[in-house]
Structures are given as structure tokens and as C-alpha cells.
Amino acid sequence: MIKEILAARVRTVEIRSPNNFFAIYNCQPGERIFITDSSALDVVPGTTGLITTIKALQVITHRTIQSGENYYEESESQAARLQLQLVGVGRVRRIASIEPATPLTLDVDEVRYCGAR
């Protein structure tokens, strides 16, 4: 997903993971989120990733029905569809909150790269 956001600068993604779903559930368009390949337990000061802005957010429900001769099964799952716009590359300065069953809250600095020749 990180390579796709870097290439397209605006990308719509679908979040199905329960941890990520509940982390963004109360977010609003205009808020910034930090995206990294690292798992929550592996995020430490210095971890790099992308800073993105939520352009649009939609919670959707998937319904699946399976049936056979002797059974009928219906299940539902929720996902969030986010349209993200790239702001820049970021580096974690500090972990502000890492409580069980709550979103990971970070202080992230935007990293600016300059090429000297």
C-alpha cells in the first residue's frame, strides 16, 4: 500500500483488519494518519512511514450467505474505505499512547529530503 500511495499520491484503500478498523473508526476527513509497514509492537522512535490526510471515509458492511441442503449460514463483517492523500514522509518522534484496545497515538515529524550535488 505504501508504494501505491507514493506512486498515485491519492489512493483509496479498504481496511478490514479489526485493529486498524477500530483505530480509524472515529477519524474524520481532514485528519492525518501515519502509515508504516511495521506492526504496532514494532513501532519505536525513529520508525519511518507516510503521513497521509483522510480525504473521505466510508464504513461498509459485507454480508455473506452460504447454504446447502441442510444448513443456512449468514455472516457480516465491517470494513472501512479510506481515500488517502499523501502529505509526506514521516518519522516517529515519540509514542504518545500505547494502551490495550485503543489506537496507537504517535508524535510524528515530517521528514524533508534535500539532495546536494
Q: Can you spell out the DSSP letters for 46-106?
A: T-EEEEEEEEEEEEEEEEEEEE-SS-EEEEEEEEEEEEEEEEEEEEEEEEEE--TTS--EE
pTM of the predicted model as reported, rounded to 2 decimal places = 0.80
Quick one: average pLDDT of 19-33? 90
- Indicate whether 49 belongs to any domain: yes
- Indicate whether 79 belongs to any domain: yes
More confident residue, 55 or 9: 55
- Indicate whether 83 belongs to any domain: yes
Domain CATH code at residue 77: 2.30.130
Per-residue model confidence (pLDDT) at position 74: 93
- Indicate whether 26 belongs to any domain: yes
Phi and psi dihedrals of 15, rounded to 5? Answer: -100, 120
Q: Domain of 37?
A: 2-111
What are residue 59's DSSP bridge partners?
80
